[in-house]
Amino acid sequence: MKTGVCRVAAVVVAASALLLTGVAAGATSSVTITTPRAGQSISLKKNPYLAVAGGVSFAATTPGSTAFYLRRDGCGTSNDNPHLSTTSGTDGGDGCGLIFNAVVGVGGDLDQGAFVDFPATDGMPLPLDATHAIDGAIALTGAQVGLATVDVTLEALVHGNAVTLGSDSESAVLDPTGNDTPIPFTIQPSATLDGSDLQALDLRVHIHGPNIYSGFISLNGNSYVHVPSYAASVNKAVQISVDDPTFANPTAARLDATGSGWSVAIPTPPIGKHTIYAESIQGFDTSAPASRTFTVTK
């Protein structure tokens, strides 16, 4: 059986790869500096504090939903790879069981190998909209005789920490006349997680109950989870740096009510030529820096 430590480690590894991909994809925000003016001379005696301001543009944070499909590359092979993906397709692992157990008739309890984890391999990072419920379905196939219970737990990585978004347990009498029996589930994440930027996502599935050869997951778009999300991160900021393009010790600016302007007052630097750098941040994305050079006089 897998351990919680292994599960978190797998989620962290997946998150690292996905975040690197996201950073390379390009900036979603941009920033400009309007004050001080380029080449402006500022008297240190008259201006012990320097007003710095500018404009900023962020990507829209429209609420919506992101669909993740349960995928499995090859059942029982070295290329098994259970995972979640934002794209659906025909899988070699379609109809794969969790672990093959003996037949159990009515009154028994067939436990399909405890669980299988489906970590997201794309669609990350994801800005979570926790004001709405997460919903999905695990479609079961096979002989479809008897009763099956599906337990699901959804876990995410937030600020590098594993967080359980929620869990659900649902049962259904299987339909032997159909190709599969979808078992819907609903998870309501804590409102405190609203706006969190999920670094990784993992769906744990556990199937059990008095059924006969029916604990097999139908993939190919039939099993999925819909995660309410924002089009872009709702976490936005602008920071500046004086004479340091690496932003080793940045100063946070204040965003105005429109979200399109920013300002901050800093101690005027010593006499001489200086450069102000500014960058905007939205979630895990950082814009290209803007810069403005000016001169401080006596």
Question: pLDDT tens string for the chain (298 positions)?
Answer: 344 434 544 454 444 444 433 333 345 899 999 999 999 999 999 999 999 999 999 999 999 999 999 999 887 777 889 999 999 988 877 777 654 333 344 444 555 456 899 999 999 999 999 999 999 999 998 888 889 999 999 999 999 999 999 999 999 999 888 889 999 999 999 999 999 999 999 999 999 888 767 678 899 999 999 999 999 999 999 999 999 999 999 999 999 999 999 999 999 999 999 999 999 999 999 999 999 999 999 9
pLDDT, position 135:
98
pLDDT, position 78:
78
φ, ψ of residue 64 in degrees (nearest 5):
-165, -145
The CA R_g of the chain, rounded to the nearest whole Å, is 26
Residues found in the chain: 298
Apex 22 CA angle, 16 and 24, nearest 5 = 105
- Per-position b or e across 280-292, b if 16+ CB within 10 A of its CB: bbbbbbbbebbeb
**Which domains does the chain possess?**
32-59+234-297 (2.60.40.10), 63-230 (2.60.120.260)
3-class SS at 152?
strand
pLDDT, position 27:
59
